[in-house]
A and B are shown apart, each in its own frame.
Chain A
Amino acid sequence: MINKVWDSFESAVSDVKDGDSVMIGGFGSSGFPLQLIEALRQHGARDLTVISNNAGVGDEGIASLLKDRLVRKIVCSFPRSAGSVWFERLYEEGAIELELVPQGTLAERIRAAGAGIGGFYTPTGYGTRLAEGKETKVIDGRGYVLETALPADVALIKAQRADAWGNLIYNTAGRNFNPPMATAATLTVAEVERVEAVGDLDPECIVTPGIFVDRVVAQKEWRNDAA
């Protein structure tokens, strides 16, 4: 019997270790696994590398991990949003390392990791500061930068619906980074709004097949605030 449904967010993240790399799905204020992030914060693993598009806003979500000083390094495309005070404070103190990656390169590095691709040549960033020190190549007259796959120990993702096999369906633009991250981590944990019976999700509509998902936890009470 395959049953990937876990009872609590706390138990689903209890084996995250100090020093782990953790992908966190979401973009802006959309599609964040906020209850998983809160469980991770309470779990208290330190020296984390967080891989996400943003670096958190206010005191919630990713910002709460920064506030508790659990994050050693962040890999993201857009750390500086209105209200990203904890990132800015830690950056100013030199208390957090930033690896800035163009958004499409971030998504493709994650996709590559999940697809068994070691690296790829992209035109994005060629001739810019973000390509400094990287291997470049001219192919058919166009310049490209070698970017390598970006895997993680853990992916915390958010979907709308799941079943016990880990199949996932998302809500509107809440999909964002969640499907590629689901494929790229050793352990993928999905926070979902509800779990349905195996067979009830339309197979034509499943976005993330369950093979990529290890654990599913249903929200107790649905909320979706800006992370």
Chain B
Amino acid sequence: MRLKPAEIAERVAQDIPDGAYVNLGIGMPTMVANYVSDDRQVIYQSENGILGVGPAPAPGEEDPDLINAGKQFVTLLPGGAYFDNAESFAMMRGGHLDLAVLGAFQVSEKGDLANWATNNDTYPPAVGGAMDLAVGAKQVFVIMSHTTKSGEPKILESCNYPLTGAAVVKRIYTDLAVLDVTDDGLRVRQLHGDNTFDEVQALTGATLLPAQN
């Protein structure tokens, strides 16, 4: 079985600890905030200069300047703060963020992350804050589909797309499984539904290690 994107986001949310400072990437990672349970207080950073990002404002109550990194209108929670971009990325590179949840094109078995460019050179590249987040956050979780739309593995022995960062990913959440990047290699942490190890291995371009009990 394959989880839907919202279900993968819900699974990631279970692993976000109380009190964490977290940056959620654009797209599927942003959905994670919808599923963090109310008994946990999590402070979200937006790299354009916000700590304590709140939910979308009611229609008509938008502050035109108050957007997240994905250009969506947001609000500021009580206790939140604004700061400039230099300070925002000092916060990141300085190791003050507990966790970044990012999307990816490919992840290698060593935790190399490729999420900013493909090998299509006709298209102008864009990187934004991806490289800073990859090296700066204390932990990087990746949330993505296990394979491409055409069924090719996105988890590989080594990435063939340009790297965002080398050996930066700690855990990979896909529609098929949850995998940990360990010194021994990629270890299955959880198989979703009735998926078997062999089925997931067959859709993975690197050797998997079975879950440890």
Interface set of A (CB-CB < 8 Å, partner B): 27-31, 53, 77-81, 87-88, 91-92, 98, 100-108, 110-111, 122-130, 170-180, 207, 224
Q: Which residues from chain B contact A77 at a C-beta distance below 8 Å?
A: 126-129
Decide yes or no whether B106 CB sits under 8 A from chain A.
no
- Contacts A80-B124, A207-B84 known; list 18 others, CB within 8 Å: A28-B48, A29-B64, A79-B124, A80-B123, A80-B126, A104-B47, A105-B131, A106-B85, A107-B89, A124-B135, A125-B131, A128-B162, A128-B165, A129-B162, A130-B131, A172-B82, A173-B66, A179-B84
Report B123-164 residues with CB < 8 Å from chain A CB.
123-132, 135-136, 162-164
CB neighbours (8 Å) of B71 from chain A are: 28-29, 81
Establish whether residues A30 and B48, one from each chain, have CB atoms under 8 Å apart when the complex forms.
yes
Q: How far apart sit A180 and B85, CA to CA, in the bound complex (Å)?
A: 8
Q: How far is the CA of A176 from the CA of B47 in the complex (A)?
A: 9
Given the contacts A31-B65, A224-B65, A107 and B162 also touching, CB distance less than 8 Å:
no
Q: Report the separation of the CA atoms of residues A98 and B63 in the bound assembly, to the nearest whole angstrom.
A: 32
* 0/1 interface trace, chain B 56-77, chain A, CB 8 Å (1 if under): 0000000111110101000010
Q: Is the CB of B66 within 8 A of A172?
A: yes
- The CA of A179 and the CA of B48, in the complex, are separated in Å by 12
- Distance A47 CA – B151 CA, assembled complex (angstroms): 46
**CB–CB A103/B85 < 8 A:** yes
Q: Does B92 contact A (CB under 8 A)?
A: yes
| Closest A-B pairs by Cβ, 5 of them | A104-B89, A174-B65, A104-B132, A107-B85, A111-B86
Is the Cβ of B49 less than 8 Å from the Cβ of A175?
yes
Q: Which of B66, B82, B86, B124 contacts A107 (CB 8 A)?
A: B86
Q: Which residue of B lies closest to A142 (CB)?
A: B135
Q: Is B170's beta carbon under 8 Å from chain A?
A: no
Chain B: residues with Cβ within 8 Å of the partner, total of 42
How far, in whole Å, are A174 and B69 apart by their CA atoms in the complex?
A: 12
**B30 CB contacts on chain A under 8 angstroms:** none
Q: Evaluate contact between B135 and A29: CB separation under 8 angstroms.
A: no
Q: With CB as the reference atom, state the residue of chain A lying closest to B124.
A: A91
A179 to B93 alpha-carbon distance, docked (Å): 19
**Interface flags, B101-128, vs A, CB<8A=1, else 0:** 0000000000000000100001111111
Q: Does B83 contact A (CB under 8 A)?
A: yes
Interface centre among B67, B117, B127, B162 (most CB of A within 10 A): B127
* In the complex, chain A residues whose CB is within 8 Å of the CB of B135: 123-124, 126
For residue A70, give the distance in angstroms from its CB to the closest CB of chain B: 19
Query: Judging by beta carbons under 8 Å apart, are A88 and B124 in contact?
Result: yes
Taken together as a complex, chains A and B put the C-alpha atoms of A122 and B135 apart, in Å, by 10
Q: How many angstroms from the CA of A177 to the CA of B86 in the assembled complex? A: 8
* Residues A175 and B126 in contact, CB atoms below 8 Å apart: no
B128 and A224 contacting across the interface, CB-CB below 8 Å: no
